[in-house]
Amino acid sequence: MFRNKEFKNMIIAAAVLTAALSVCGYVIGGMYVFVLLLILGICITAGFVIITKKRYDNIDALNAYLVKVLAGDETPDVLDQEEGELSILKTNIYKATSTLKHQKELLSKDKVALSNAIADISHQLKTPLTSMIVMNDLLKTEDDKEKRTEFLQTQSDQLDKMDWLIRTLLKLSKIDAGTITMKPEDIMADVLMEEVVKPFEIQMELKEIAYTSNISDIKLRCDKNWTVEAVRNIVKNCIEHMESGDMLSVSASDTNIYTEIIIEDTGCGIAEEDLSHIFERFYKGKNAEKDSVGIGLALSKTIISGQKGDIIVESTEGVGTKFSVRFYKTII
pTM over 0.75: no
User: Do 62 and 166 belong together in one domain?
Assistant: no
Amino acid at 213: S
User: Do 248 and 192 belong together in one domain?
Assistant: yes
- Residue 106, in any domain of the structure: no
Domain count for the chain:
3
* DSSP one-letter code for 200: G
% helix / strand / coil in the chain, to the nearest 5? Answer: 60, 15, 25
DSSP secondary structure letters along 160-194: HHHHHHHHHHHHHHHHHHT------EEEEHHHHHH
User: Do 194 and 323 belong together in one domain?
Assistant: yes
- Residue 216, in any domain of the structure: yes
User: Do 60 and 35 belong together in one domain?
Assistant: yes
pLDDT recorded at residue 31: 77
User: Do 320 and 197 belong together in one domain?
Assistant: yes
pLDDT band at 325 (very low <50, low <70, confident <90, very high): very high
- Residue spans of beta strands (DSSP E) within 178-289: 185-188, 210-214, 219-222, 247-254, 258-265
| Mean pLDDT of the region 18-26 | 71
User: Do 215 and 318 belong together in one domain?
Assistant: yes
DSSP secondary structure letters along 83-119: -SHHHHHHHHHHHHHHHHHHHHHHHHHHHHHHHHHHH
- Residue 126, in any domain of the structure: yes
User: Do 232 and 286 belong together in one domain?
Assistant: yes
| Mean pLDDT of the region 297-313 | 90
Q: Are 190 and 213 in contact (CB under 8 A)?
A: yes
User: Do 157 and 218 belong together in one domain?
Assistant: no
Question: How many angstroms from the chain centroid is the CA of residue 75?
Answer: 25
pLDDT recorded at residue 153: 83
User: Do 294 and 267 belong together in one domain?
Assistant: yes
pLDDT band at 327 (very low <50, low <70, confident <90, very high): very high
Range of the structural domain that residue 193 is part of: 185-328
Could you tell me which of 295, 235, 293 has the C-alpha nearest to residue 261? 235
Least confident window among 2-6, 155-159, 236-240: 2-6
User: Do 319 and 227 belong together in one domain?
Assistant: yes
